[in-house]
Structure 1
Amino acid sequence: LRTERGTGTNILGFIVMLVLMQGVALAALYPEDRMLKTFRRILVSPVHVGKYLFVQFIFTFLCLYIPTYLAIVITHVLFHAEIGFHLDILAGLLCVLTVLATAFAIFMASVMNRNISLMTSGISVITCVLSGCFISFAPHHPLLNVLCAILPQKAYMTFIHGVEMGHSMREYKAQVVYILMWSAVFCFLGGFITRRRTNKGIYE
C-alpha cells in the first residue's frame, strides 16, 4: 500500500471519532431509563435484559448509520465533494464502524451511570489519535506500539485505507472479524454487567 492517505480515508478517519461519541449520546436513553426507574418496570414484563439491550442496539445503530450515510451521500451528490469511495462500498464501511460504535455505546452506558459522554469523549479522542484516525501515527515505544495495534480503530483504518487504494474488501477479512470481535465483547460485557447489577437489585 502507498504510504499517503486518500481523501476517503481522511474523511472516515474523522468520522470514526464523531460516530463513537454520537453513539453514546444516542444510547443515553438507557441510563435515563435506569434513573427514572423505567428499566425496572420494563423488566417486570416478559422483556428480559437481553431483549432490552438488543432493542437499544438496533435503535442506536439505525440512528447512527442512516443520518451519517445520508449526510455523506447528500454532500457528494449535491456539492460534488470527493469522498474517495463508491456509495455502495461506503455503505459497507460505515456499517462496520457503526456496529463497533453502537456496541461501545451499550458497554459504556452499562458501566457508567453519569458523565458518560464526558468519559467517552476522552476515550474516543485518545484512542482515535493513537489509532491514526487523523494522521498516520507510528509510535517508536514498543509498549505504546502494542497498545495501538490492539485498538479496533487501528484495524478499521487499515481496512478502509486498503479498500481506497483499490484492494478488495475480502482481502481484509481479518480486520473486519477483529472489529466485530471487539463489538461482540462490548455487547457481552454490557449485558453481563447489567444482568449482574439487576440480580443484585441495584436498579430496584
Structure 2
Amino acid sequence: MPIEMRDVVFRYGDRVILDGFDSTLREGSLVGLVGPSGVGKSTLLGLISGELRAEHGSVCYPDLPGGPDHLLAASIGWIMQTTNVFGNRTVLDNVLLPAWIGGSSRTEAAASARDALAQVGLESFEERRCASLSGGERQRVAMARALAGDNPVVLADEPTASLDRANRDQLADLLVAAAASGVLVVVATHDPAVAARCDDVIEL
C-alpha cells in the first residue's frame, strides 16, 4: 500500500520539524529514515500512522479510503525501540492481542499469530513467557506482532538500538523479508548497517 506525503509542515511549538516535506513511499519497499536525533524521524512515523496531524499539507493513502484513523486501527504494525511486550504473558498472547482487541475471534487471532511467529522463527516459543526471553527474542516477538493480521504497513522506530550485531542483522533480515512480501516497511534508524539494507533512504 503506497503512502503519498505532499508539502507536509509540522511544528512543536515554535520549532519547525518538517517544512514542506514531500515523498511517496512505495508498497513492497523498505524505507529508511536517517538523520540526527530531533530532526523528525519519529514525528514522520507518527504522521504516517495518523497519531499526529500535519499543520499543512497532506498524507494520502490511495488504496485505503478509510484514512489515517482506519489505518491506525487496522492496517499498521508497530515495532518500537522498547519492545512493549507483556513479560508475564506468553509469546502467543503477546502476538495475538492486537487482532483480538480489534475484533477477531481468539481462534482467528491465534491462527494469524502462529503464522507470524513462524515467519520470525519463533513457532516453538508460543507458550514461553516473554520475561524469559532475550532482548533479541523479544524484538522478534514485536516483529511477529507487527506482521500478524497481514498488515500492509509496518513502522519501526529504532528497532535495533538495543540489540547486538547478530540480533540486529537478524531483525534487518526480517524487515527485508517483510518488504519483499509486499509490505511497506518504514524504519527510523541511526544504524548505517540497517540503512544500507533499505531500498530507499530519506535523510532528514
Do they fold alike, i.e. is TM over 0.5?
no
Structure index of larger Rg: 1
When the two structures are superposed, what TM-score results if normalisation uses the length of structure 1? Answer: 0.30
Structure showing the higher strand proportion among its residues:
2
Structure showing the higher helix proportion among its residues:
1
